Amino acid sequence: MQHQARKRFGQHFLTDSGVIDAIVRAIAPRPGDAMVEIGPGLAAMTQPLVERLGRLTVIELDRDLAARLRQHPQLDVIESDVLKVDFAQLPERLRIVGNLPYNISSPILFHLLPFAGRVLDQHFMLQKEVVDRMAASPGHKDYGRLSVMLQWRYDIEALFDVPPEAFDPPPRVMSAIVRMTPWPQPAALDPALLEELVAVAFSQRRKLLRHSLGRWLEARGFAGAFDLQRRAEEVPVAEFVTLAQSLQ
């Protein structure tokens, strides 16, 4: 039975076999790996993955697709909004993959952040613009809150671009594959504090930090040294991290 892509779920089904093969090769699944796929859709990537793994857990919100996926004997189906899934209930050394719905990709990335210590790696298809922001370096126009929050916790590698015609229906944007590998020993800090600090810093990204972060630090009674005569996009991730640690 033909499945119509549902706009409310941000469904764009990957159909290009060459692209699917390239993604699976980048993931390099091995028999016995504990892997979960977010948004398997019509199982274009699911099938080659499960053939290599032996068994695969999938998270699917669309109940019609979830019912279809349950018929596959090698799949464990979690029918849920991924933002409600407690990844702590899944195995350790988890490998997470997926073609993420572009309308909620950032919330998904932030939802996964607290579980990074249990994760081996993550491979996602995202809007290229989002991948560019995730991997951006200080001084680049794409460098911002997303770059800092994710690079604190992961080594981020943009792998390759995927054109709209690789999907049905084709999205209006270029897509890209990203690999996220959690740092084995990330800097110990309060993630909520870092997130607040970074949000304040980038709230007026065209102005010097003394206008935004300076006032926030002053209100917290910060007496340490931090160069506020810069814009937020000039500050390396390590400096934001060190500042957050000094405030704890």
pLDDT tens for residues 33-61?
Answer: 999 999 998 899 999 999 999 999 999 99
**Parts of the chain belonging to CATH 3.40.50.150:** 7-182
CATH number for 191-247 (one of 1.10.287.130, 3.40.50.1100, 1.10.8.100, 3.90.1150.10): it is: 1.10.8.100
Query: How much of the chain, in percent, has pLDDT values that exceed 90?
Result: 88
Helix (H, G, I), strand (E, B) or coil at 157: strand
Return the CATH superfamily for domain 7-182.
Answer: Vaccinia Virus protein VP39 (3.40.50.150)
The residue among 102 and 156 whose pLDDT is bigger is 156
**Parts of the chain belonging to CATH 1.10.8.100:** 191-247
**Could you tell me the CA-to-CA distances from 67 to 57, 99, 135 in Å, in that order?**
14, 19, 36
For residue 5, pLDDT over 70 is answered with no
Cβ contact 5:13 at 8 Å: yes
**What's the whole-number average pLDDT of the chain?**
93
Determine the pLDDT at residue 229.
97
| Sequence-separated (6 or more) residues with CB below 8 Å from residue 41 | 11, 13, 14, 60, 62, 65, 99
> What confidence category does residue 244 fall into, taking pLDDT thresholds of 50, 70 and 90?
very high
> Which residues fall in the annotated binding site for S-adenosyl-L-methionine?
12, 14, 39, 60, 81, 99
> Which residues fall in the annotated binding site?
12, 14, 39, 60, 81, 99
Residue with tokens 């800092």: 148
Ranked by mean pLDDT, which of 100-104, 132-136, 204-208 comes out on top? 132-136
pLDDT tens-digit series, residues 69-94:
999 999 999 999 999 999 999 999 99
Average pLDDT over every residue of 59-68: 94
The whole model's pTM is what?
0.92
Determine the pLDDT at residue 115.
97
Determine the pLDDT at residue 7.
47
Query: How much of the chain, in percent, has pLDDT values that exceed 70?
Result: 96
Determine the pLDDT at residue 88.
97
